[in-house]
Amino acid sequence: MTPQFQYLANGTCLPCPSGCSSCLATADDVRYPCTVCHQGFVYVANPQSALTAGGRCATSCDNLGLLATSRDSSRVRLTTSVDDPGSRASEGRLEVWYGGRWWSVCDDRWTMTNTDVICQEMGLGRGVASTPRYNSANLWTAMSTITIGFDDVDCDVTATSIFECRHAPFGFPPDCDQQQTIGLRCAGSAGNSDYCVEACPVGHFPDDANSRCRSCDVIGCLVCSSEGVCTRCEQPQWLLNQTCVQSCPPGYYGNTATGSCDRCDAACLTCADGISGTSCTSCRVAQALNDGACVEECPRDQLLWNMTSAVCVNHCPRGSYQVVTSRSRICVPCFATCRQCVGVADNCTDCVTSGHVLVTRSNGVKSCEPRCPPGQYPRVDKHCVPCDDSRCGHCYMGGHVCSSCIDQSYLEMGRCVNSCSNGLYPNPGGTCFPFCPGGQYSDQSGQCQPCQIPCRHCLSADICVTCQPGYYLLTNQRTCVSSCGSGLVPYSSRRNDDVNIRLVGGLLPTDGAVQLFARGNVAKVLISCAIK
Ligand SMILES: [Ca+2]
């Protein structure tokens, strides 16, 4: 610690004042040589000089008619490096706390007055210089962590804070890139946490009892008269009942001129933010919204749409249809399954459910259904239309190809026919196949005949394949018997867990050589009725 500084006026070296723990090597004003104060002292920047003026260390701000405040609570700071944001420097990139985070400031239209106002807001005395494109000049690598939130800042000389200066609307993308951040240099030193100010910084109020600035303690509050009593909020918040709100409650609008929530015009139920409360967004019962005004009746050329609140419209919105009588012109909601309807509520022209199709009912009205009725198919526009052949139960391929038939016709190769073609036989489901249905065989003349009981499935009148329940197939004779007889035992071709048996090399499933697959030591030998 070097308690020395030089006073240039007459070239004499003078000791650092007692309150100072650090002094300038050269001070242009002998009354303000300090850079850091001892514990228990507060820093007072030179309010006059715009050179490297330093400050003085006082025992109390009160004696000077000033207020004490803490640098840590300031909403404006100078940042010198990525690693050390908000360091106590009197030079660096300008950052402003707003909406719960720090933003940097664009250099567009920057003025020396801006620099001066903001340096004094930070308790750093007069402004010395500003550096446009500060990010670019310092070649910071972490530029992506910075977002420019303030643009076109324009301070009057009387301003005591950047929050009193005009700027482009916050929240819109500023028309400047990340390198265009403004950097400032202030005359004072930033060595101490506590410093003296003429007016409390933003978000603070003067507590006269101990000459200190105290926090408003209201989130989003810029100006307050005492703790918890806000009088001005940061945009886009609005002042309501001494606090700040994101949006005004129903019946109120955000007054863009005053920044507070004010009552809507008596005609409105709710109204839009703006310079007055006369732009209604909804109306009271028995009134309709017409172009921002609440009216008793819609104009003659408009329709009344009353869903959540009454509105005058030029065309009925989707999901409603118009009903025009000599006395009223209104829009009425469509039936719930209709996305669009015409004439009456349940006459759909489009369906809410994407897979649904439009079915024309007997009264000519179209309804949305999961599928077309028999004899119809869905066109590309989802309207159900008749199949080409009236005997089709269902059809596809543009209605040309049947997939089922009605009126006792048979389905043959996608067509419905009165009888199956030669060599084809009607099977269950009314389909023509080149074989007889189960339990029947084709006789010499090509007619299907029933198998002889107790035969169940057969190839001809005397060649049985399976038997009715309670009968066994004699596979060498292809007939069904009620008992196997001597030398034969019943055999079921069903598998069991221990032994797998199969017949191979025979003409029929129940004919052939027996093959066994045995697991473990004991193989059970089962002999079919069919094997001698
Ligand atoms: Ca700009």
The stretch 278-293 carries a mean pLDDT of 93
DSSP H helical ranges for 185-342: none
Report d(CA 137, CA 199) in Å as an integer.
33
Whether 430 and 452 have beta carbons less than 8 Å apart is answered as no
Separation of 234 CA from ligand 1 center, angstroms? 20
Question: Tell me: the pLDDT tens digits for 320-348?
Answer: 999 998 888 999 999 999 999 999 999 99
In degrees and rounded to multiples of 5, residue 3 shows phi and psi of: -80, 60
The stretch 403-424 carries a mean pLDDT of 90
Q: Give the model's pLDDT for residue 92.
A: 87
Separation of 74 CA from ligand 1 center, angstroms? 25
Separation of 148 CA from ligand 1 center, angstroms? 11
Report d(CA 390, CA 430) in Å as an integer.
16
Q: What sign does the CA torsion over 312, 315, 320, 323 have? A: positive
Question: Tell me: the pLDDT tens digits for 227-270?
Answer: 999 999 987 799 999 999 999 999 999 999 999 999 999 989 99
Q: Give the model's pLDDT for residue 12.
A: 72
The stretch 438-443 carries a mean pLDDT of 88
Nearest to 235 by CA among 220, 249, 248: 220
* Amino acid residing at 427: N
Given a cut of 90, whether residue 51 has pLDDT beyond it is: no
Separation of 152 CA from ligand 1 center, angstroms? 5
Lowest mean pLDDT among 170-174, 192-196, 353-357, 471-475: 170-174
Report d(CA 232, CA 205) in Å as an integer.
12
Given a cut of 50, whether residue 126 has pLDDT beyond it is: yes
Residue 521 binned pLDDT confidence (cut-offs 50, 70, 90): very low
Peptide bond preceding 236: is omega within 30 degrees of 0, i.e. cis? yes
Question: Starting at the edge strand that comes first in sequence, how are the strands of the sheet with 212-215 ordered?
Answer: 20-23, 34-37, 55-58, 42-45, 194-197, 67-70, 212-215, 204-207
Report d(CA 308, CA 288) in Å as an integer.
11
Question: Tell me: the pLDDT tens digits for 2-31?
Answer: 445 555 545 677 788 888 888 877 777 788
Question: Tell me: the pLDDT tens digits for 188-229?
Answer: 877 667 888 888 888 899 988 878 899 999 988 999 999 999
Separation of 154 CA from ligand 1 center, angstroms? 11
The better pLDDT of the pair 138, 219 is held by: 219
Separation of 122 CA from ligand 1 center, angstroms? 24
Strand partners of residue 448: 442
* Amino acid residing at 16: C
Separation of 147 CA from ligand 1 center, angstroms? 14
**Threshold 0.75, pTM exceeds:** no
Separation of 405 CA from ligand 1 center, angstroms? 75
Tokens 């129940």 locate to 510
Nearest to 356 by CA among 318, 382, 393: 382
Taken in order of first residue, the domains within the chain and their CATH numbers are: 1-215 (3.10.250.10), 338-385 (no CATH)
The better pLDDT of the pair 302, 63 is held by: 302
Separation of 91 CA from ligand 1 center, angstroms? 23
Per-range mean pLDDT, top range of 51-65, 118-132, 478-492: 118-132
* Chain-centroid distance, C-alpha 274: 28
Whether 384 and 396 have beta carbons less than 8 Å apart is answered as no
Separation of 150 CA from ligand 1 center, angstroms? 9
The stretch 428-454 carries a mean pLDDT of 87
* Amino acid residing at 326: S
Listed in sequence order, the residues at least 6 apart from 172 whose beta carbon sits closer than 8 Å to its beta carbon are none
Question: Starting at the edge strand that comes first in sequence, how are the strands of the sheet with 26-27 ordered?
Answer: 12-15, 4-7, 26-27
